[in-house]
Amino acid sequence: MPLDPQADALIKQMAAAPGPKLEDLSPQDARKLASMTFKMLEGAPQEVGKIENRSIPGPAGDIPVRIYTPSGNGPFPLLVFYHGGGWVIGDLDTHDNACRALTNGARCVTVAVDYRLAPEHKFPAAVDDCYAATAWAVEHASELGADPSKVAVGGDSAGGNLAAVVALAARDRGKPKLAFQLLIYPATDGALDTYSHKTFKDYFLTDGAVRYFWGHYVRGEADKRDPLASPALAKSLRGLPPALIITAEFDPLRDEGEAYGEKLRAAGVPVTTTRYNGMIHGFFTMTGVLDQGKKAIEEASSALRKAFGR
C-alpha cells in the first residue's frame, strides 16, 4: 500500500527541516533532539488517576520509575513498560503520553522504567535494569494497588526488544510469572538483513540510525548474537506468555518483528501480529499527527484487557 497521507506529510516536513541527522549527533545531542521531536508529535496528554515518580533499587544503583494509576478502586492489573529509543535516547517524558493512554485504556497500573542508556551503559545494563524493575513491581504489587497475578510487559522499538527479553529471562529464571507481552515494532535480531531493512531506509527511522543505535548498545558481534540482545536467536520460545506484536508497513524493523511472531506461534505461544499499513516506525507515540497511532493504542489496550481477563 502507499504511504499513509499523514505519514507522508510528516516525513516531507521533517526532510525539509534544517539540521543534522540523528545518527550524526552525539548521544547527548541526539537525546535533546529526540525529546523535542516526541513533544511535537505526541498530542495532548490524558488525565489519569495518579502519577508518582520514585526510585527503586537496581543492580547498579537506583532506577527511576514513573507509576501511573487509573482512577477507581483497585487492585488493578500491572503493566511494566520500557520506552523505545534504540537503547540510546528516550526517557520517562518521551513516552509519558503513551503510558497515560495505556493506563486508562487497559485499566491497569503502569510502571514505566527509566533504564540505563548506552553508550554510557552497554548491553546488558538495560536488560538488567528492566528485569530488576519488573521483579520489584511484582513483589510490591499490593503496595502499588496492583494484582501480582495479572502482569504484562510492554514497550516500543528498543523497548519492545526489552519486553521480549524480560519475558525470556522471566521464563528461564522462573519468575516473575507474566500473563502477556506487548511488543510494538520490536527490534528482535541484530543481523539487520531483512527485506524491510534493505527497503525502508529513509522513512523516519533510517538505516543509519538503526546501525547507530546498535553500535552504541553492543560491544560487538558476540553481543548481537546473545538472545538477551537478539531474542529471535533464543534456542526455544516455548513457554513464553501470549503476545501482541504491532508492526508498521514502512518500518525497517517490520520483518524481524513479524518473523518473531511466527517463531512464537511455531513454539505454541498464542500471538497476534498486526501490521499497520502505510505507517512508519514510531507511529504509536505520534498520536498528535497520526490517527493510526490512536488505533494502535486502542488495539494494545484491548489486548491487555483481554489478557488480564477484564
Q: Which residue ranges make up each domain of the chain?
A: 5-307
List the catalytic residue out of 129, 189, 251, 255.
251
**Average pLDDT over all residues of the chain:** 97
List the catalytic residue out of 189, 226, 281, 301.
281
Nearest Cα to Cα of residue 68 among 106, 99, 105, 114: 99
Whether 251 is a known active-site residue: answer yes
pLDDT for 305 equals: 98
What are the two backbone dihedrals, phi and then psi, of residue 224, each rounded to the nearest 5 degrees? -60, -35
Domain 5-307 has CATH 3.40.50.1820: yes
What is this structure's pTM? 0.98
Instruction: For residue range 258-290, list pLDDT tens digits in order.
Output: 999 999 999 999 999 999 999 999 999 999 999
List the catalytic residue out of 157, 196, 230, 301.
157
Take residue 9 and report the three cell numbers written for it. 506529510
282 phi-psi bin (left φ>0, alpha ψ -120 to 50, beta other): left
Whether 281 is a known active-site residue: answer yes
pLDDT for 19 equals: 82
CA 232 to CA 309: how far, in whole Å? 28
Instruction: For residue range 129-181, list pLDDT tens digits in order.
Output: 999 999 999 999 999 999 999 999 999 999 999 999 999 999 999 999 999 99
CA angle 166, 187, 172 (to 5 degrees): 25
Helix (H) or strand (E) holding 65: strand 61-69
CA angle 5, 7, 10 (to 5 degrees): 110
pLDDT for 16 equals: 87
